[in-house]
A and B are shown apart, each in its own frame.
Chain A
Amino acid sequence: MGDILSLIAKRLGLGLITLLVISIIIFFMVELLPGDIAQAVLGQGATEENLAALREQMGLNKPAVVRYLEWLAGAVRLDFGSSVVTGEPVTQAIGDRFINTLFLAAYAAVIAVPFAITLGVLVALLRNTVFDRVANVTTLTAISSPEFFLGYILILFFSVRWGMFPAISSLSPGMSFGELLERTFLPALTLVLVVTAHMMRMTRAAIINLLASPYIEMARLKGTPPWRVIVKHALPNAWAPIINVVALNLAYLITGVVLVEVVFVYPGIGQALVDAVSKRDFPIVQACCLIFAATFILLNLAADVGSILTNPRLRHPK
């Protein structure tokens, strides 16, 4: 067990270093953006004195390195400064939206991951049959269409034609959980359609890849029924690649949902990021980028640890 703990600790350390490097890149990339922030905030009519005063107030006169360290120290305490547009603290401005995005991602993931893996196991079992082909073609079509297009198709049928679900996922305080699930069903379904194909195809490929193994042949020659060969003998050895694809898709659910949020007018972090970029609200942009980076790193870390834990050689050393 000690081996695994030290492995995890090592991965965690590497993840932190990566995050640090990314924070440097994010901070200085925003620095490099053309134009003057004070100018952008105050507009073309601002006087030189006003600009100087604002720069002083925002600390823009300090050397970049100092400002980076101050920003980093704040970020560690989840304090990303204040919006330069509204003056509202960044954490307050995007905190709720981030939670909304997490909710939508979790909603989609809870449906998509079991669905994709079950489907992957089924198509591996029924490989090269009509069912396999239909499942492959359908999921590929879903992944090849742009998300906003899928979203509009779903709106067309589910809300306009059949009136089953609302087309707009606006949230209001005091909504019941059931109501929440109903309102956000269409964006979640759109995301499910987008991420299922990858995970299903990887599950299928990882399982089929193992079917030529001697231990699979052994299982067959013991008279094990085909479904049991797949579920009991192939799947437990196929987790590592599947977990990695699942993690990548989960990260996508959080960082790649901008278009879906726009289509369904869902108050998530993707929309906040787009707004902030257009308004040059750099503290929000930096905070969003850092959150996305941390999400990616955390999920990949979880995938690494997951793959390690599914390896019996590591779990049960000699």
Chain B
Amino acid sequence: MNTPKKEVLLKIRGLEIQGYSDETWVDIIKGVDLTLHRGEVLGLIGESGAGKSTIGAAAMGYARDGTRISAGSIEFDGMELTTASESERRALRGSRIAYVAQSAAASFNPAHKIIDQHTEAPVHYRIQKRMEAQEDAMELYERLRLPNPGEIGFRYPHQVSGGQLQRAMTAMAMSCRPDLIIFDEPTTALDVTTQIEVLAAIRDIVDQFNTAAIYITHDLAVVAQMADTIKVLLRGNEVEEAPTEEMLENPQEDYTKSLWAVRSFQRPQKSRPTDGSKPVISVKNVDAAYTGGAKVLDDVSFDIYEGMTVAVVGESGSGKSTTARVITGLLPPMKGEVLHRGEPLPPKYTDRTKDQLRQAQMIYQMADTALNPKVRISEIIGRPAQFYSGLKGAALKNRVDELLDLIELDPSKFYNRFPPELSGGQKQRIGIARALAAEPEFIICDEVTSALDQLVAEGILKLLDRLQNELNLAYMFITHDLATVRSIADEVVVMQHGRVVEHGPKDEMFKPPHHPYTDLLLSSVPEMDPNWLTTLLEERGVDNVGEAAKVG
């Protein structure tokens, strides 16, 4: 890792980028320097809005729509990109500098086969003929351990799973054997178990071809596995840069230290009440399916007691959100029932009384789409208060103010505003207030922190914890993030393929022996140790990465 530095490939000096908003140009990158040598992997980390992706695109001489490079120099292999013509810059893209995007599902064109998109650049640059390029693609698919490398490219993107697509995109980036690849959060949208396959594949192929890379992520543990050097960014400025091990062991700046310490929040674990009270919500032997589809829930049962947090974990498609839909009555189960304090709830929400409806409130993952952008905050929060409690006029206004106080937003400032004027964390707080307005005993939190930056997410978790103590709420906390589970859960339900595979108090769940699937989930969570991935792959054996690692 610390071999003598080779030839400089990319040199960025004093880079400034502006974005156009509200009819003026605003600085988003405020003078960043960056040096990358051949074969080196640089990790760029920071919260959203730090300008990581913008710098990544700028390294390709590309300014996204609505942004412009306003100052500084970008020198790639001796060529100054800021003064080069558009066609000169375009000639580098895909051939010498390639890009791997965050969501492969969105970044592959749905209208064309994967292999046709793969071969587009090499054929366009006349590096290979179409047939040669296809053969080369299959070879890369094989190296990236994609199943059926000879056939998978001839499928359309929607016919391939997310983790496979992400590897296919890495293969596509390799198609012209570029000198530099920009990886823009390539595993953020993936499950932990899939993430490992992709990380291992990326690291292998970057090593094999000695490609330099800029690896952009907000996940410290991931960057620790991938990068030789780490650069920390905050709001368009560089905070610090150091070799990976040094950065992990001895961060200099306060901001970096706060990023490192973000997962420190942990609340004491509670246990079930012993006075014989009934659980607030109890799911009993539920089977469910969407119209015309196969069964997605199979005999799911668990209880949630007053004042407790039950974390429901599992990969995407394991049935976590479907269980929430059954509890709220959005999806009537085929078999089984949902009880509220021992009383069965009608399967369909339309058959439930107002009092039954108010008991199960939801907070959603994407506060952006869960709040109507054209409705004022006062109405978003006021509407459930009016609907469930019949409040009007001054009483309603007082209640909204009270709720805004509860979520630590100043009523005088936020009462009349609209959701788009708020930050991500503030929007999520409004989502919480809306759930609280119904005065429920039980709230379903569906991945409420996964779209947020770590510092903001921690604030939301602390708020939820405080509200739980003050209002004696029960939470069902749907998440795929085991770090969140560690910090807030009392009990854990592990789901896989629509079944509950393990269920128990948190402290027991995090101690071996585990169900093999729980074990796979736990061991797949990246750790800060830079050798974690290497060690894990050795333990599992290469054959256990990818499809083979799926546990029955």
Contact flag A223-B109 (CB < 8 Å), given A212-B65, A312-B158, A313-B158: no
CA distance A232 to B62 in the complex (A): 21
Contact B121 A236 (CB under 8 A): no
Q: Which of B98-106, B347-355, B450-458 is the contact stretch?
A: B98-106
B58-69 vs A: 1/0 string, CB under 8 Å? Answer: 001010110000
A212-237 vs B: 1/0 string, CB under 8 Å? Answer: 11110111111111001000110011
Contact B111 A220 (CB under 8 A): no
CA distance A212 to B57 in the complex (A): 15
CA distance A219 to B92 in the complex (A): 13
Contact B106 A318 (CB under 8 A): no
Query: How distant is B85 from chain A, measured CB to nearest CB, in Å?
Result: 13
CA distance A212 to B64 in the complex (A): 10
Query: How distant is A169 from chain B, measured CB to nearest CB, in Å?
Result: 42
Interface members, chain A 78-123 (any B CB < 8 Å): none
Contact of B121 (CB < 8 Å), options: A213, A223, A318: A223
Contact B159 A215 (CB under 8 A): no
Query: How distant is B143 from chain A, measured CB to nearest CB, in Å?
Result: 20
Contact of A214 (CB < 8 Å), options: B106, B124, B156, B172: B106
A310 to chain B: closest residue by CB: B111
CA distance A212 to B106 in the complex (A): 11
Contact B158 A221 (CB under 8 A): no
**In the complex, what residues of A have CB within 8 A of residue B98's CB?**
221-222
A212 to chain B: closest residue by CB: B65
Contact flag A316-B101 (CB < 8 Å), given A215-B106, A223-B91, A236-B112: no
Contact flag A221-B65 (CB < 8 Å), given A213-B106, A214-B107: no
Contact B94 A222 (CB under 8 A): yes
Contact B111 A312 (CB under 8 A): yes
**In the complex, what residues of B have CB within 8 A of residue A212's CB?**
65
Query: How distant is A131 from chain B, measured CB to nearest CB, in Å?
Result: 19
**In the complex, what residues of B have CB within 8 A of residue A232's CB?**
112
Query: How distant is B450 from chain A, measured CB to nearest CB, in Å?
Result: 19
CA distance A214 to B102 in the complex (A): 9
Contact flag A221-B159 (CB < 8 Å), given A215-B110, A313-B110: no
**In the complex, what residues of B have CB within 8 A of residue A318's CB?**
158-159
**In the complex, what residues of B have CB within 8 A of residue A217's CB?**
64, 101, 107
CA distance A305 to B65 in the complex (A): 35
Asked if B295 is an interface residue, CB under 8 A from chain A, the answer is no
Asked if B93 is an interface residue, CB under 8 A from chain A, the answer is yes
Query: How distant is B202 from chain A, measured CB to nearest CB, in Å?
Result: 17
Contact B156 A219 (CB under 8 A): no
Contact A233 B109 (CB under 8 A): yes
Contact A223 B125 (CB under 8 A): yes
CA distance A215 to B155 in the complex (A): 17
Contact flag A223-B112 (CB < 8 Å), given A214-B106, A217-B107: no
Q: Looking at B62, B112, B172, which has the most chain A CB atoms within 10 Å of its CB?
A: B112
Interface members, chain A 177-235 (any B CB < 8 Å): 211-215, 217-225, 228, 232-233
Contact flag A218-B90 (CB < 8 Å), given A237-B109, A313-B110: no
Contact of A223 (CB < 8 Å), options: B93, B111, B156: B93
**In the complex, what residues of A have CB within 8 A of residue B62's CB?**
220-221
Contact B109 A219 (CB under 8 A): yes
Q: Looking at B103, B109, B158, B159, which has the most chain A CB atoms within 10 Å of its CB?
A: B109
Asked if B120 is an interface residue, CB under 8 A from chain A, the answer is yes
Interface members, chain B 75-125 (any A CB < 8 Å): 90-95, 98-99, 101-103, 106-112, 120-121, 124-125
CA distance A54 to B151 in the complex (A): 76
Q: Looking at A217, A218, A223, A313, which has the most chain B CB atoms within 10 Å of its CB?
A: A223
Query: How distant is A39 from chain B, measured CB to nearest CB, in Å?
Result: 57
Query: How distant is B546 from chain A, measured CB to nearest CB, in Å?
Result: 20
**In the complex, what residues of A have CB within 8 A of residue B108's CB?**
215, 218
Contact B107 A215 (CB under 8 A): yes
CA distance A222 to B133 in the complex (A): 15
CA distance A217 to B124 in the complex (A): 17
Contact flag A237-B110 (CB < 8 Å), given A221-B60, A221-B62, A312-B156: yes
Q: Looking at A212, A215, A228, which has the most chain B CB atoms within 10 Å of its CB?
A: A215
Contact B107 A312 (CB under 8 A): no
**In the complex, what residues of A have CB within 8 A of residue B156's CB?**
312-313, 316
**In the complex, what residues of B have CB within 8 A of residue A233's CB?**
109, 111
CA distance A223 to B106 in the complex (A): 18
Contact A222 B120 (CB under 8 A): yes
Query: How distant is A294 from chain B, measured CB to nearest CB, in Å?
Result: 32
Query: How distant is B151 from chain A, measured CB to nearest CB, in Å?
Result: 14
Q: Looking at A213, A217, A233, which has the most chain B CB atoms within 10 Å of its CB?
A: A217
Contact B159 A316 (CB under 8 A): yes
Query: How distant is A313 from chain B, measured CB to nearest CB, in Å?
Result: 5
Contact flag A312-B121 (CB < 8 Å), given A218-B99, A220-B93, A221-B93: no
**In the complex, what residues of B have CB within 8 A of residue A237's CB?**
109-111
**In the complex, what residues of B have CB within 8 A of residue A224's CB?**
94, 120-121, 124
Query: How distant is B427 from chain A, measured CB to nearest CB, in Å?
Result: 21
**In the complex, what residues of B have CB within 8 A of residue A218's CB?**
99, 101, 107-109
Contact B111 A236 (CB under 8 A): yes
Q: Looking at A214, A218, A221, A313, which has the most chain B CB atoms within 10 Å of its CB?
A: A221
Query: How distant is A225 from chain B, measured CB to nearest CB, in Å?
Result: 7
Query: How distant is B55 from chain A, measured CB to nearest CB, in Å?
Result: 14
B108 to chain A: closest residue by CB: A215
A211 to chain B: closest residue by CB: B65
Query: How distant is B90 from chain A, measured CB to nearest CB, in Å?
Result: 5
CA distance A180 to B524 in the complex (A): 75
**In the complex, what residues of A have CB within 8 A of residue B125's CB?**
223
Contact B90 A312 (CB under 8 A): no
Query: How distant is B323 from chain A, measured CB to nearest CB, in Å?
Result: 24
Interface members, chain B 142-197 (any A CB < 8 Å): 155-156, 158-159, 172
CA distance A81 to B90 in the complex (A): 68
Contact A223 B95 (CB under 8 A): yes
Interface members, chain B 519-544 (any A CB < 8 Å): none
CA distance A91 to B94 in the complex (A): 63
**In the complex, what residues of A have CB within 8 A of residue B172's CB?**
222
Query: How distant is A128 from chain B, measured CB to nearest CB, in Å?
Result: 12
Chain A interface residues toward B at CB < 8 A: 211-215, 217-225, 228, 232-233, 236-237, 312-313, 316, 318
Can you list 16 A-B pairs with a CB-CB distance of less than 8 A? A215-B108, A215-B109, A217-B107, A218-B108, A219-B109, A220-B93, A221-B94, A223-B125, A224-B120, A224-B121, A236-B111, A237-B110, A312-B111, A313-B110, A316-B159, A318-B158
Chain B interface residues toward A at CB < 8 A: 57, 60, 62, 64-65, 90-95, 98-99, 101-103, 106-112, 120-121, 124-125, 155-156, 158-159, 172
Q: Which 4 A-B pairs have the closest CB atoms?
A: A222-B94, A223-B94, A236-B111, A223-B93
